[in-house]
Structure 1
Amino acid sequence: MPAPAHAPPLFARLALPLALALSAAVGGCAGYANYPQIGKDDVAVNNPNTPPVPEAAFTALRWVVRRYPVEGGYTINMPAGMYRRTGERFIQMLNDPDARLLTPSTQHLPCYHIKRVWVRGERATVEVMRPVLRPPMDIPSGAPSTPLYQSFWVKCEAGWKPWRVVHARAWPIGTDVPPD
């Protein structure tokens, strides 16, 4: 008579499901996210509201705003589709009385744009555009004054710590246009 088969201990039966749950929690729900979507076959999460996309975007935005401030009021253009309450939270966390969300009534103010967000596990690259204000003498009389922008690719990391900037690359002024 063969020996009876014994069920594995409880720990052994739960080890794999627990490990998978823990890795999902640590890596966040959007371990692979693109905003905006890259092509029609993009398999990444493309929702700008899915964590950790907002957290990475805010970290990069704050870095650019603090290093390249403008005088007076300014606006923040959030990614299309991002919840308004997330934008309001960004403004609150910037802790700057001059910061506003981009609206029809604030569109005359200088604007920082969150243009792209790529999340790969605990790393993210966020493209943020800052306004570059030109002195009035640079604009010919009667000519429309189109604002200039400078793009930054801000690399962030998280892991066991909050999101933080580890590197940034500035692109030449005026080589990119802001999103609609």
Structure 2
Amino acid sequence: MNRLADATSPYLLQHADNPVDWYQWGDEAFAEARRRDVPLLISIGYAACHWCHVMAHESFEDEAIAALMNEKYVCVKVDREERPDVDAVYMAATQAMTGGGGWPMTVFATPEGKPFQAGTYYPPVARHGLPSFRQLLVAVDRAWGDIRDDVVRAGDGLVAELAHNARIVAGADGVPDAGVLG
């Protein structure tokens, strides 16, 4: 059993016996990522999501993939139904990066939580123009090690753009601007 064994979410409990050393969303995960100086791998889904279960079976239950995840990342599992606030932020980032979104959502972020790479389902082998999940894990780790300044700048830029767009859509009081709504 991993750290999800004490979760209250049925979705998180479905992952409690994964070989992935999952953290729940919270300060402990961020502190561990800073301590180890590694990115966060944030996986967001929900109990009734078919592709969430597929990716869990294909990747999160695979001992070799889990070992790579545990070595190179602090892995955080989020139930979108329990944490719609977290889901909304990372879905906006995923959509900004990819033009689409969905679940499972796979987000790589700095230890401060700033997303720099995101997508949805990744297969266990490369297909349909998608890299395998293992290839993605290796590529993100390589980028973190080789071009970290660029990775961090990309995350900072994305966060700034999302904040700017949020201010355009909602006025200073948080109410949507009538002009934006049409």
TM-score with structure 2 length normalisation? 0.25
Q: Which is richer in strand?
A: 1
Q: Which entry has the higher C-alpha Rg, 1 or 2?
A: 1
Higher helix share: 2
- TM-score for the superposition, normalised by structure 1: 0.25
